[in-house]
Amino acid sequence: MGELDAEIFGISVDSFASHKRFREELRLPFDLLSDWGREVSKRYGVFNFTEKVANRVSFVIDKKGIVRFKQSSSISEPRDIESVIKKLKEIQSE
């Protein structure tokens, strides 16, 4: 998202091999990172200890590392990309 001076990437507790297949299958234009040790998902409070997976959450984090936006969604519902873009534009205009 060059025009918004933003980096996009996905991260989940799945393996690198799983991410590679998923990225190729969907032709995703961004990197997928593996939180195999579950450290990142626990730090961001999105790890589901009962099911041993990370909940599906989108974050907008500013250049200072501050979480400015957080959006949860189920796997069966689409993400609200417009809300993410709106928040990015707000941050850019500050």
pLDDT of residue 25: 93
Cβ atoms of 6 and 88 within 8 Å: the answer is yes
- Alpha-carbon distance 13 to 52, whole Å? 9
Instruction: State whether residue 83 is helix, strand or coil.
Output: helix
> Given this model, what pLDDT does residue 38 score?
96
pLDDT digits (tens, 9 = 90+) for 33-87: 999 999 999 999 999 999 999 998 999 998 899 999 999 988 888 888 889 889 9
Cα–Cα dist 10/59, whole Å:
10
Going from N- to C-terminal start, the domains of the chain cover 2-92
Residue 90 has pLDDT above 80, yes or no: yes
pLDDT at position 5, please? Answer: 80
Q: Regarding the domain with residue range 2-92, which homologous superfamily does it belong to in the CATH classification?
A: Glutaredoxin (3.40.30.10)
Classify the phi-psi angles of 77: left when phi > 0, otherwise alpha if psi is within -120 to 50, otherwise beta. beta
pLDDT number for residue 1: 54
* pTM attached to this predicted model: 0.78
Q: Residue 27 region, left (φ>0) first, then alpha (ψ -120 to 50), else beta?
A: left
Q: Is 71 exposed, middle or buried (0-12, 13-18, 19+ CB in 10 A)?
A: middle
